[in-house]
Amino acid sequence: LTVRKRLTVIDLFAGCGGLSLGLYQAGWKGLFAIEKNAFAFETLKYNLIDGKKHFSWPDWLPQTAHDINEVINNYPQQLSNLRGKVDLVAGGPPCQGFSMAGKRVKDDIRNQLVFSYIKFIKLVQPKMILFENVKGFTYAFNKKNREGVEPYSQIVIKALEGLGYNVKPHVIDFSDYGVPQRRKRFILVGIQSSLGSPDNFEY
């Protein structure tokens, strides 16, 4: 009897755990999740940590709400020790600063969490990455003034390629997959260059 190894995942900006729940249902095994909002994390903990035992939570990380920058600054060695042990890092930074439905503020401090995501990837070096954000993530700020012409999506793509990943971006309409609204999202998948190409991924 061959026992199939369960693929491992870390969920960043996890919210209440919607993405983690989907990965759990698909057979993945969570290592841990990072979510700053205490109420959202309590929901995730109740359903997925205490309830479904989805995570093999490490002893060095308290099971509580965390800011991603605090985790990066406080546990750099523990994160580096995960290299070669993590199949996927999934998640997307808060999108309010990029959303076309909101004020779309270039200087929204939450926009900087994109760079925290990249720092996390650099430390952990997962085999695969899944990045998600709003469609507005692909549009540059202040294009008329020629300031910040390069959209954040291109900044992320270049940074991940620089870390040794083959990446493939998509804008996907979630209504094509059963969501009862027209909801277009920016989805980027990537895989370490030594392991292959994301062209083989199906959508």
Q: Looking at the annotation, which residues are catalytic?
A: 95
Q: How far apart are CA 106 and CA 110, in angstroms?
A: 10
Cα–Cα distance, 166 to 109 (Å, whole number) = 28
- Is residue 124 a contact partner of residue 82, using CB atoms and an 8 Å limit? yes
42: helix, coil or strand? helix
The SS3 call for residue 187 is strand
